[in-house]
Amino acid sequence: MHSPQKPPTGKKSTSFIKRAYQWLYHFYLRYLFKRDTILSTFSVFIVIGLFSLLPLNTSILNPFKTALKDLDFNDISYSVLNKNKNTPIDNRIVILNIGNADRMGLALMIEKLRMAKPKVMGLDVTFDGPRDPQNDSLLRHIIGSTPNLVIASKINWKNKAIPEDVGYFGIYTTNRGYVNFIGEEGGTIRNFSPFEKANDKTYNGFPAAIIAKADSAAFLQLKNRKREYEVIHYSRNLEQYMLVDGQDLLEDNIAPELFKDKIVLMGFINPDPFNIEDKKFTPLNKQFAGKSTPDMNGIVIHANIISMVLDGKYIRDIPSGIFWVITILIAWLHVALFMRYYIEEHIWFHLVAKLAQIFFAILSVYVGIMCFDWFSIKIDTKISLIVIILAIDIIYFYEALAVWLHTKFGFQTSFHSKSH
């Protein structure tokens, strides 16, 4: 008779894990806690800190800065992965296309809307001077007598003496908000400034001024965040908002109930994709790098900002403490790998270093895009990439210093004076 088969004891698997750990320790892990590795890692951050303090003239880098300044890989989340494709229409907001209406037409539109009792109206138009006296008088009266109407102003970023340009009708109301975008001089609009301070006064951005009247709790949350700027969460295209033509409003082709208790944003909408009048670049642009055609009207960008604040769906950053712990850990692991090959197998050092840099660059971009797409968390991987690039050169400098210290003072180091 055959004896019953004994159950596996797990000794083989335990032995394999032990041997694997011993191999990994001998091959790599033993370098993690070497003094040279730790000091080299800290040296990388010391060099970065010193560079940040130097007033260097970087004009020689302008061609590279010009090419890269408007590149953000997180745009792939919108333009390629369609982050906003399943977002429903925001029924709280109605966009009214004012077209080429004159001041008389705008006054009549506001009066029509006022009778429909919307929660708040926002007029994204700046007025730079007098026109027809009769039309100006009518619009002036309408603006001054409509307490739930917010009009557009302009913030003077550089002129602190007169920080806000209120326009021709701005003196007749305190319900104003600046319509400036960060990066609007040909760049992609990714951020917005909710508040600006000058001369002991706080100025509201156009979306913030509208939210203050529409939802005080959401406005308070935005204010309490105390952020210099917010990253815009682009949740919707124009097709995901209710769009009404101003001419239809004037001709009574729209039921007034559509506007009741809604946020009505009045602005110019140009549906022609090849006409760039009053359009800006956004991350929703299908060509995320080297963009050539602006894709979104300003009033729709304001609508996205308002939707984001009302929903409380802000783009988040990882805490700075966690960010630096991860960055230091990444630098430490890479420096240990570079040290191992630099000291023991220098013939493979440059190949391994370049492959590690390429692998980490691809991995970091992928992880950053996925975190942005799935969790709306923005991770800035530039510092991590910089430390990995610097690590190679720092090792060269550290070797020279360590060998000199060893020769002069008996400093213990794994390096030797033999050239590679």
In which domain, by residue range, is 344 found?
31-69+318-409
Q: Considering 296, 314, 332, which residue would you say is the last residue of a domain?
A: 314
CB 340 within 8 Å of CB 352: no
Q: Considering 314, 330, 353, which residue would you say is the last residue of a domain?
A: 314
Q: Same domain, yes or no, for 112 and 221?
A: yes
Dihedral in degrees, nearest 10, Cα atoms 45, 46, 48, 53: 150
Is the Cα torsion angle 231, 235, 240, 242 positive or negative in sign?
negative
Q: Same domain, yes or no, for 221 and 187?
A: yes
Q: Same domain, yes or no, for 213 and 331?
A: no
Q: Note whether residue 76 is domain-resident.
A: no
Q: Note whether residue 194 is domain-resident.
A: yes
CB 151 within 8 Å of CB 143: yes
Q: Same domain, yes or no, for 234 and 289?
A: yes
Which pLDDT does position 69 carry in this prediction? 54
Q: Note whether residue 7 is domain-resident.
A: no
Q: Same domain, yes or no, for 219 and 360?
A: no
Q: Same domain, yes or no, for 206 and 183?
A: yes
DSSP code for 352: H
Q: Same domain, yes or no, for 160 and 305?
A: yes
Pairing of strands 377-378, 90-97: unpaired
Q: Note whether residue 153 is domain-resident.
A: yes
Q: Three-state DSSP class for 138?
A: helix
CB 353 within 8 Å of CB 338: yes
Mean pLDDT in order along the chain per 10 residues (420 residues): 54 76 82 92 89 59 44 80 87 96 97 97 95 96 97 86 88 95 85 91 96 98 95 94 97 96 96 79 81 87 98 92 92 93 91 92 89 89 85 90 88 69
Q: Domain count for the chain, please give it.
A: 2
Instruction: Please state the φ and ψ torsions of residue 134, each to the nearest 5 degrees.
Output: -65, -45
Q: Note whether residue 102 is domain-resident.
A: yes
Q: Note whether residue 184 is domain-resident.
A: yes
Q: Same domain, yes or no, for 57 and 181?
A: no
Q: Considering 289, 314, 339, which residue would you say is the last residue of a domain?
A: 314
